[in-house]
Amino acid sequence: MAPTEPTPITAPTPSTCDPEQGGTRTATQRTLDRVAAFFTLLIERPISLYAAAVLRIGYGLLYLVFLLREFPNRDEIWGPDSPWTPVLARQLFDQTGWASVLTLSDSRAYFELCYAVAVVTSALFMLGWRTRAVSVLFAIVVASFHARAIFMTDGGDNLILLMAVYLVFTACGRRWSLDARRARLRSAAGPEGRLPLTAGGEFRCQLRDARLSVVTVLHNCGMFVIAAQVCFLYGSAGLYKVQGGTWGNGTALHYALNLQLFQPWPALSEMVDDHQVLIAAACYLTVLLQVAFPFVLFGRLKYPVLVMLLTMHVGIAVLLGLPLFSAAMIVADAVFLPDRFYRSLGLLCRRAVQRTGASGRGASPRSEAGLLPAQPRPVG
């Protein structure tokens, strides 16, 4: 450490006396600066608010569609007359530690009420209404339905369950939600809710600032955990594939395409399976993308990687008949897109809507081209 008093000119500095010591000090200082910058980012402002909103909308919509799609089969999967009876489910809970609100009663009316609550909760979570409280209820709903029929789903709900729990800690209702709209209207109405400058008002301001700081830290930690979860998922899947011989010789997708259980369109699977070279290339590319995914998240290289992963998941949904799993993974990948991407996307959507509205109102071609301003139509 540098002395507190001025050092005489004749005394050598650490860098001139010992270059190695000076270099170590510089590297240590850089490390400390990076750690300080990380903690500043963690507590200064919430990050990836648009990505969190996309996750909320995506998983809320996905689970809503899932419940509506399985509505005719709800009794066979989760109901009291299911082959996996509530008694068997409670016996499994004693071993696994799971719990479900669906097993609190074997009544038919109770099950139908729980199903209706689940549908409404998914819709409200997607819309972002009272998101802080509804996100907790949504996590309970997903966990309860997942635990009730853990052997009767395709595995995509595992990721949805994890993301539902993580999103409880995020501020996923700050953007593209009914909560955000209500906050804009409240701010536009004027400073009516401003606290008076008294001792009590100052104390409440301090409490509000402390609450915002805690919310910011929880949100940023939640987003980091979500990103780490997706990285771990891809990395572990890629490393697991490397150990298999079928992925090494490029025949894994051939065997997957010939499984009758995963053939929604057998003719399409047979047509794709005829291209053996492309099948082998897809095997190697899949392993490469999954193993390298955690290392390409910084910089512009992540964009083509995300596009290739999107193509891969669409192929899994179409060829193997796993739409829930593929959609859950596609939504999870959205966490790696920056907010400026979503802002640009929203701007493009608004411009497209304005152009559509202008053409629907009968604007002249020259005004649409920007040559002349559009003439206002008379009222009435």
- Taking residues 210-232, what's their average pLDDT? 92
Per-residue pLDDT at 338 exceeds 50: yes
Amino acid, res. 12: P
Alpha-carbon gap, residue 203 to 337, rounded angstroms: 39
- Looking at residue 360, its pLDDT comes to 64
Per-residue pLDDT at 7 exceeds 50: no
Residue 31: which pLDDT band, with cuts at 50, 70 and 90? confident
Query: Could you give the 3-state DSSP secondary structure of residue 107?
Result: coil
Beta carbons of 289 and 308 less than 8 angstroms apart: yes
More confident residue, 155 or 378: 155
Closest CA to 170 of 229, 138, 215: 215
- Taking residues 238-244, what's their average pLDDT? 88
Instruction: Give the largest CA-CA distance in the chain.
Output: 91
- Looking at residue 16, its pLDDT comes to 42
- Taking residues 255-273, what's their average pLDDT? 91
Per-residue pLDDT at 35 exceeds 60: yes
pLDDT tens string 276-329: 999 999 999 999 999 988 888 777 788 999 999 999 999 999 999 999 999 999
Alpha-carbon gap, residue 309 to 332, rounded angstroms: 11
Radius of gyration of the chain (CA): 28
CA atoms within 13 A on the CB side of 296: 18
Alpha-carbon gap, residue 334 to 52, rounded angstroms: 9
**Which DSSP string do the residues of 120-137 spell out, in sequence order?**
HHHHHHHHTSSHHHHHHH
- Looking at residue 20, its pLDDT comes to 45
- Looking at residue 380, its pLDDT comes to 33
pLDDT tens string 112-128: 999 999 999 999 999 99
H-helix or E-strand spanning residue 344: helix 339-360
Per-residue pLDDT at 359 exceeds 50: yes
The pTM score is 0.82
- Looking at residue 198, its pLDDT comes to 64
Contacts for 257 with CB less than 8 Å, ≥ 6 apart: 263, 269, 270, 272, 273, 279, 319, 320
Alpha-carbon gap, residue 159 to 327, rounded angstroms: 10
Token pair belonging to 137? 């209820």
Question: How far is C-alpha 281 from the geometric centre of its chain's CA atoms?
Answer: 29
- Looking at residue 24, its pLDDT comes to 53
Alpha-carbon gap, residue 200 to 173, rounded angstroms: 29
Alpha-carbon gap, residue 57 to 172, rounded angstroms: 9
- Taking residues 175-191, what's their average pLDDT? 86
Beta carbons of 86 and 106 less than 8 angstroms apart: yes
Alpha-carbon gap, residue 204 to 194, rounded angstroms: 11
